[in-house]
């Protein structure tokens, strides 16, 4: 049975009338109105004042150039330490290399290049930048000088305070990651 367009319209009109008549009934909202009136009759609560915030005071970490507390402390005792302290001293007059402002724990060896039988290491700093370094370049905060580069590691000699007013050499390595 096929409905004509007029019959469909008449059926739609009847459905809409039924829906609207259901919504327009004379419902009793006395209980709802009494609840709203009782809530409005309650005394208003006191609002707490906005707290006063102390302005932020910045802190400047002044021990960044010192030895990391997580590194093994250097123990220098006896006559050997005083002999080493006499001959070793960092060159404070030279311009620092770019990788000397980060500790060795932040640096990673990520590759190696070979040019004319000499190795150069690719070192990633703590910011994700790759640097090409060779023998004689400096790394780390403790005046670490590159002594040797192989296919898998960079050998570095750092100059650290000996504890008795002098300096001591300490070997370190960066291995290929």
The distance from CA 47 to its chain's CA centroid, rounded to whole angstroms, is 40
Does residue 53 fall inside a structural domain?
no
Range of the domain at 103: 79-175
CATH number of the CATH domain containing 94: 2.30.30.830
Please report whether residue 65 resides in a domain: no
Q: What is the DSSP letter of 164?
A: S
**In sequence order, what DSSP letters do the residues of 21-65 get, joined into one string?**
HHHTS----HHHHHHHHHHHHSPPPPPPPPPPPPPP-----TTTT
Q: Quick one: pLDDT at residue 156?
A: 93
**Would 86 be classed as within a structural domain?**
yes
Q: What is the DSSP letter of 176?
A: B
The predicted model gives 125-149 an average pLDDT of 90
Q: Is residue 20 part of a domain?
A: no
The whole-number pLDDT of residue 63 equals 77
Q: pLDDT digit string (tens) for 4-47?
A: 888 888 889 998 888 877 666 666 778 888 999 999 999 888 88
Bridge partner residues of 138 (DSSP): 145
Q: Look at residue 94 and tell me if it is in a domain.
A: yes
Residue 82 has a pLDDT of: 44
Residues 39, 90: Cα–Cα separation, whole Å:
79
Tell me the residue ranges of DSSP E strands in 37-152: 108-115, 118-124, 130-133, 138-139, 144-149
Number of domains making up the chain: 1
Helix (H) or strand (E) holding 158: strand 153-161
pLDDT at 175 over 80: yes
Answer whether residue 8 is part of any domain: no
For residue range 55-106, list pLDDT tens digits in order. Answer: 888 888 777 777 777 776 666 555 554 444 457 888 888 888 889 888 888 8
Token pair 């290929």: residue: 176
**Does a structural domain hold residue 70?**
no
pLDDT recorded at residue 84:
46
Q: Helix or strand or coil: residue 83?
A: helix
Q: Is residue 7 part of a domain?
A: no
């Amino acid at each position: 049975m096929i409905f004509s367009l007029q019959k469909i319209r008449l059926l739609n009109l009847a459905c809409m009338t039924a829906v609207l008549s259901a919504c327009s009934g004379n419902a009793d909202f006395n209980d709802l109105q009494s609840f709203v009136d009782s809530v409005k009759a309650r005394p208003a609560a006191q609002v707490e004042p906005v707290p006063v915030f102390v302005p932020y005071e910045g802190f400047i970490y002044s021990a960044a150039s010192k030895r990391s507390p997580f590194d093994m402390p250097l123990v220098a005792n006896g006559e050997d330490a005083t002999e080493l302290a006499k001959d070793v001293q960092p060159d404070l007059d030279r311009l620092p290399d770019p990788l000397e402002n980060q500790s060795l724990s932040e640096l990673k060896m990520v590759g190696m290049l070979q040019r004319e039988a000499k190795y150069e290491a690719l070192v990633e700093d703590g910011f994700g930048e790759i640097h090409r370094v060779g023998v004689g370049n400096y790394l780390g905060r403790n005046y670490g000088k590159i002594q040797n580069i192989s296919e898998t590691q960079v050998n570095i000699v750092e100059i650290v305070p000996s504890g008795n007013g002098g300096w001591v050499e300490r070997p370190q390595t960066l291995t290929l990651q």
